[in-house]
Structure 1
Amino acid sequence: MLLTKAEIRCAMLGGAASLAGIVGLVGVAIFALFPSSGASILTAVFEPYVLRVLRFTLLQALLSTLLSIAFAIPVAQALARQQHFPGRIWIVRLMAVPMGLPVLIGALGLIGIWGRHGIMNAVLLSLGAAEPVSIYGLSGILLAHVFFNMPLACRLMLAALDRVPAEYWLMASGLGMRRRSVFRFVEWPVLRSVIPGIAGLIFMLCATSFTLVLTMGGGPAATTVEVAIYQSLRFDFDLGRAVALCVLQIVLTAVILGALSFLPAPRDEGTTAGKAVRRPDGEQPGARLVDGTVLLLATLFLVLPLMSVVFAGLRSDLMKLSRESIFWQSAATSLAISFSAAVLALLISITLVRARQAVLLRRPGAPGAGAFFAAMGGASSLVLLVPPIVLATGWFLALRSFSDASAAAPLLIVAINALMSLPFVMRVVEPAFIVHKRRTQKLAASLGVTGWVQLRLIDMPALFKPMFTAFSFAMALSLGDLGAVALFGSDNFVTLPWLVYSRMGSYRTNDADGLALILGIVCLLLTIAGTMGPARREVLLHG
């Protein structure tokens, strides 16, 4: 990237300002968590209740990770073996739906299928089962985590299996390997190299799960650290316990992130001639039957809750909901917060990316340059270390000393949601920005195209699609979030997810189903818009 000294200085100042804002947002929250005496925190951490919550958090995260990995392996194998059957692409796309679905909607769908009056219990009762399956408690949390994380694990495993050179399968066929030998000598070494990273990611997601546990937990016996923080502030107003739990959550996420950093990188499967992959081990009738059964069960597991949300939402009185002022108030609040958070996340990511590239151009070997470069990259992932519920708790404690914390709730939730979506936005924007600059910077500099003209004619046409993708996903993520809103939600400050949760809590399930359908459609449209945006236009400058 060729920049003038003034442009480099401006880029670095913008990056420094964004870095200071992120550090300030996180730093104030952490500083507010510590009371005058550190001994009280240490005492509260070792309370039997806190230790029980920590044990349950680790237990459910471990079990959820094991189940998600165990169920993802046969599904990924079946998709990798059956390369050309009709509908394969739609199953792969279906695996992406839970990742973009608001957690609260997925929970409602699972309740509709597995709840006391759900389809599965109706089938079991018709078969003579005495007691219905309870979805609340540990079993419900595990089921929900598998619903959301198994597709993620499957897609990552499938990508690894698809990278296996075609020559491996040709040799396995020539040697007459059976399916067990193919798994042992070809598939398992590939999966073994990616499973630690996938498992670490899923464990992190489950250990910091909030909305799912809040909805499916079912009582004090099934409570994670983040939900316990919410309960300590919202219901008990036990500040000492809330602070101790926040510190415990930060330590827990720091340990998990530290462990993830030591995981080995996926192995290189070697060179290939680029031939089309053909899996002889998936062509026998028996293999097709087994793989088809696995894919059918996986599809039903994912589709049935989604269909339950749609059917339950259509059965509700949508016209009545549309006439309620609280619906339009919550919808306007949610859209305003999500739009603002997405814009803020995009602006911060652009300033950080430009500053990181400016550091490399100015004096990459200068003292402090490497630290500044790494700090701007790490700042985008601070939300992984300090989850949104901890940030909200810290700011709640900080603001209550000066004024009414609820007055600043909208601005605070915008900032927290922007920080929450920043890791994704950075990972979409930065690679596209680097590739674009490598392709256009020299000719642009030689032609003297700079400033606003360069932005309008060169940068925006090429970078619009990745920026739009990042913006739409950030907006969908913020729109469906309940974590930061949970502490500040009230009669005067209502978002759509908070309204859905409130209607569920007051047993107005029909209203909750209708609101969930509307929220899900909006988030789905945003996700589709991000993945099906305008075709990318590369700007090629010809002399």
Structure 2
Amino acid sequence: MTALTRPAPPFSRRRWQLAPGLVFTSLVLVLMGGGLLALILRADSGPSELWQSPYLQGVIRFTAWQASLSVIGSLLIAIPIARALVRQPDLPGRAGLLRLMEMSLVMPTIVAVSGLVAVYGRRGWLAEVTEWAGGSLPWNLYGISGILLAHIFFNAPLAARVMVQTLERVPVSQRRAASQLGLGSWQLWRVLDWPALRPVMPGLAALVFSLCFTSFAIVVTLGGGPGATTIEVAIYQALRFEFDFNRAALLAFVQLLICGGLWWLVFRKNRHQAVLPDQSSSTDTGSLRADSAGWRRTTDRALIGLFALFLALPVLAIALRGVPWLARELTNPRLALWDATFRSLAIALPAGLLAVAITLALLAATSALKPGLPRSLASVSGYLPLIVPPIVLGTGLFLLIQPRLGIQGYGLTVVALINSLMALPFTLQVLRGPFQAMGTPALRVADQLDIRGWYRWRWLQWPRLKRPLALALGYGITLSLGDFGVIALFGSPAQPTLPMLLHQQLGSYQVAAATGTACWLLIFIAALFTLLSRPGRVASRSAMRDTGVTHTGVPHA
């Protein structure tokens, strides 16, 4: 036995690791399987309705069309932005821009939509400037143009952030050799940038496509009519307004087949690279590129400035219009904003805690199980929410528990449970690396001293995981706070959460109240995420340096 291997502890010693992980794995699989089974049993008309209904065919075509255009637009913008950020590591404000790009993951879509309306809408800033110049806006925000703009606003920074991390992991030796050879920008793209980006592009494109394909709040707010209806909106309309459960189940099953088939193709090609931004990765800017000076420096900074303006303008519009309303109305104890805030927290806190608990159990079970089917199920179950969209899972559970939805608080409990499942891919991304980076010598000593159970957690794992846990909890809570799709399906308009209240205000043209609510939700989420992510970010970077673990949690060779 070599010094680097550690004998597997006996089953009695691993029982405390296996039991919670197997329980939560079973819970995830049962919920997913139960929801899908309900869809299959309810979709009794089969595919015949799809061939006979021009409306359903149009919905599916439009959903795939707008998602494809959004992927193309997001990636075409993300690639030059990522290369410019990598070429200019000393750019003033670069760290703040990267943080703003990371916030696109936790920014509620309904909040961003209100900001985009304030800037690009009929009464927005751009319309005022165009009118002052004697012209008019050549396009309408409501419809396919507004949907594409909102999707690019969310997904271009997400894709660029992943690409920046990928390009920064190009070995320093290769960058120095390219610099010494004086390679130009196009040559660097061919020999350095594209070979680094090519492995992650299928997964990244699949992620952006899935996010746009399953978009709900953006389409329901900016769709502009039946001609711009996606599958998610059609499912919502079938359940909430038409009570056509068969059509909802059929559409949800079609959406599952498309999203699941796409991810199956990605994973079938063995593309296991991470496609989510990793808060713990350190930035290596020690080697300048040959194409980072001269006129390229000027164009890079101009491009980055325009992109930063594109991201900051909606946020600035929300702040300028919302802060005066908040300063005037927050002292009102009967303000609906207070009830919505407490209701949102009542859902988000349990959802975040449950997501972290499930993540820890899955990681513990994965590390304790031997290679085989149980280990594969425990490892894959946390990423199933990327394949099973929330509206699909929500539709299945809606059909299962429909008679009990009238019970007080039952619907909100289901919302918290679904939100916790939807946060699993993000919490797993944060905790997998630090969990697997646990020092092997320390684990070996703990095994020899028979330290297990609570004492193993208290003295060995908790000191190393408490800060990454704070970051994972921040993801779980903030993603649940900004949820609108699931709460629209299970919630009550008389008892709205903050996103639902904002949607109601936008729908009733309460512009001042809507911007105030959006500003409050944005400040609340940004403060909470910053508070929880800051210590986790510092600790995870330290752990990465000490253990030599990559962003995917795989040790360096």
Q: Same fold by TM-score, threshold 0.5 exceeded? A: yes
What residue number does 1:294 align with? 303
Tell me: CA distance 1:452–1:506, structure 2 relative to 1, closer, same or farther (3 Å): same
| Aligned equivalent of 1:328, options 333, 338, 346 | 338
What residue number does 1:462 align with? 464
SS in 2 for 1:85: coil
Tell me: CA distance 1:207–1:442, structure 2 relative to 1, closer, same or farther (3 Å): same
Q: What is the CA-CA distance between 1:406 and the residue it aligns to? A: 6.7
Q: What is the CA-CA distance between 1:356 and the residue it aligns to? A: 1.9
Tell me: CA distance 1:406–1:45, structure 2 relative to 1, closer, same or farther (3 Å): farther
Residue 68 in structure 1 maps to residue 77 in structure 2:
no
Tell me: CA distance 1:123–1:277, structure 2 relative to 1, closer, same or farther (3 Å): same
Residue 259 in structure 1 maps to residue 265 in structure 2:
yes
Tell me: CA distance 1:406–1:230, structure 2 relative to 1, closer, same or farther (3 Å): farther
Question: Contact between 1:317 and 1:514, CA under 8 Å: does it hold in 2?
Answer: yes
Tell me: CA distance 1:187–1:17, structure 2 relative to 1, closer, same or farther (3 Å): closer
Q: What is the identity, as a one-letter code, of the residue corresponding to 2:127?
A: N
For 2:405 and 2:161, the matched residues in 1 are separated by 47
Gaps in structure 1 of 5+ consecutive residues: 268-273, 365-369
Question: Contact between 1:424 and 1:470, CA under 8 Å: does it hold in 2?
Answer: yes
Matched ranges for 1:63-462 at <5 A? 63-131=69-137, 133-263=139-269, 265=271, 276-284=286-294, 286-321=295-330, 322-360=332-370, 364=371, 370-401=372-403, 404=406, 407-436=409-438, 438-462=440-464
Residue 27 in structure 1 maps to residue 30 in structure 2:
no
Tell me: CA distance 1:228–1:418, structure 2 relative to 1, closer, same or farther (3 Å): same
| Residues 120-179 of structure 1: per-residue CA shift (max 9 Å, x gap) | 122222233244531111101111111111111112222232233445455545555443
What residue number does 1:45 align with? 50
Tell me: CA distance 1:157–1:232, structure 2 relative to 1, closer, same or farther (3 Å): same
For 1:462 and 1:188, the matched residues in 2 are separated by 36
SS in 1 for 2:423: helix
Tell me: CA distance 1:164–1:396, structure 2 relative to 1, closer, same or farther (3 Å): closer
Residue 518 in structure 1 maps to residue 523 in structure 2:
no
Question: Contact between 1:53 and 1:225, CA under 8 Å: does it hold in 2?
Answer: yes
| Residues 20-47 of structure 1: per-residue CA shift (max 9 Å, x gap) | 2222222222222244673x13222332
Q: What is the identity, as a one-letter code, of the residue corresponding to 1:98?
A: S
SS in 2 for 1:280: coil
> Cα RMSD over matched residues?
2.5
Tell me: CA distance 1:179–1:323, structure 2 relative to 1, closer, same or farther (3 Å): same
For 2:420 and 2:427, the matched residues in 1 are separated by 10
Greater CA drift, 190-199 or 462-471? 190-199
* TM-score normalised by L of structure 1: 0.90
SS in 2 for 1:431: helix
Question: Contact between 1:399 and 1:405, CA under 8 Å: does it hold in 2?
Answer: no
Question: Contact between 1:388 and 1:416, CA under 8 Å: does it hold in 2?
Answer: yes
Tell me: CA distance 1:190–1:441, structure 2 relative to 1, closer, same or farther (3 Å): closer
Residue 494 in structure 1 maps to residue 496 in structure 2:
yes
Tell me: CA distance 1:405–1:141, structure 2 relative to 1, closer, same or farther (3 Å): farther
For 2:115 and 2:32, the matched residues in 1 are separated by 34
For 1:439 and 1:150, the matched residues in 2 are separated by 42
For 1:37 and 1:413, the matched residues in 2 are separated by 23
| Residues 468-498 of structure 1: per-residue CA shift (max 9 Å, x gap) | 1111110111111011100122244321111
- Identity of matched residues, %: 36
SS in 2 for 1:436: coil
The count of corresponding residues between Structure 1 and Structure 2 is 523
Question: Contact between 2:38 and 2:400, CA under 8 Å: does it hold in 1?
Answer: yes
Tell me: CA distance 1:55–1:183, structure 2 relative to 1, closer, same or farther (3 Å): same
Tell me: CA distance 1:454–1:245, structure 2 relative to 1, closer, same or farther (3 Å): same
Tell me: CA distance 1:135–1:359, structure 2 relative to 1, closer, same or farther (3 Å): same
SS in 2 for 1:481: coil
For 2:375 and 2:451, the matched residues in 1 are separated by 27
Q: What is the identity, as a one-letter code, of the residue corresponding to 2:103?
A: V
Q: What is the CA-CA distance between 1:187 and the residue it aligns to? A: 3.2
| Residues 309-337 of structure 1: per-residue CA shift (max 9 Å, x gap) | 11121132544254325322221111011
Question: Contact between 1:141 and 1:212, CA under 8 Å: does it hold in 2?
Answer: yes
| Aligned equivalent of 2:506, options 504, 507, 516 | 504
Question: Contact between 1:193 and 1:265, CA under 8 Å: does it hold in 2?
Answer: yes
Tell me: CA distance 1:130–1:112, structure 2 relative to 1, closer, same or farther (3 Å): closer
For 1:420 and 1:181, the matched residues in 2 are separated by 41
Q: What is the CA-CA distance between 1:340 and the residue it aligns to? A: 0.5
What residue number does 2:551 align with? none
